[in-house]
Amino acid sequence: MTEHPGIVFKDGPSGRRAALAFGPDVWEIIKFLREIDERGASAVSAAAEVLALSEAQLRAAMHYYSAYPAEIDAEIADADAESRSAESAWEAEQRLLA
């Protein structure tokens, strides 16, 4: 935490994960930055506005990601897989109800 001011570690169902001290998990921020249309400084400004975070908070998350990309990429992959699984289950339920 000394190397990455503003980053804390939270425990939860998915295990220990890096997050902003008063904000979302780092993986959520990185995923959002990947998915928006803007790039560069415009991406940081847009993300700050949408996520209601300061640019300094976003840069702290980006700095953490640059030091531990495999960790954050794995968390994003896990979240994406869980989302696909939930969507498949919902679609199967809808077919039963049709």
Residue 87 has pLDDT above 80, yes or no: yes
Q: What pLDDT shows up at residue 1?
A: 62
- Give the three-class secondary structure for 19: strand
CA–CA separation, 49 vs 19, rounded Å? 18
Residue 2 has pLDDT above 80, yes or no: no
Q: How far is CA 83 from the centre of its chain?
A: 13
Under a CB-based contact definition with an 8 Å cutoff, are residues 13 and 4 in contact? Answer: no
Residue 85 burial (C-beta neighbours within 10 Å; 0-12, 13-18, 19+): exposed
- Give the three-class secondary structure for 96: helix
pLDDT (tens digit per residue) in 36-78: 988 988 999 999 999 999 999 999 999 999 999 999 999 999 9
Average confidence score pLDDT of the chain: 91
Q: What pLDDT shows up at residue 50?
A: 93
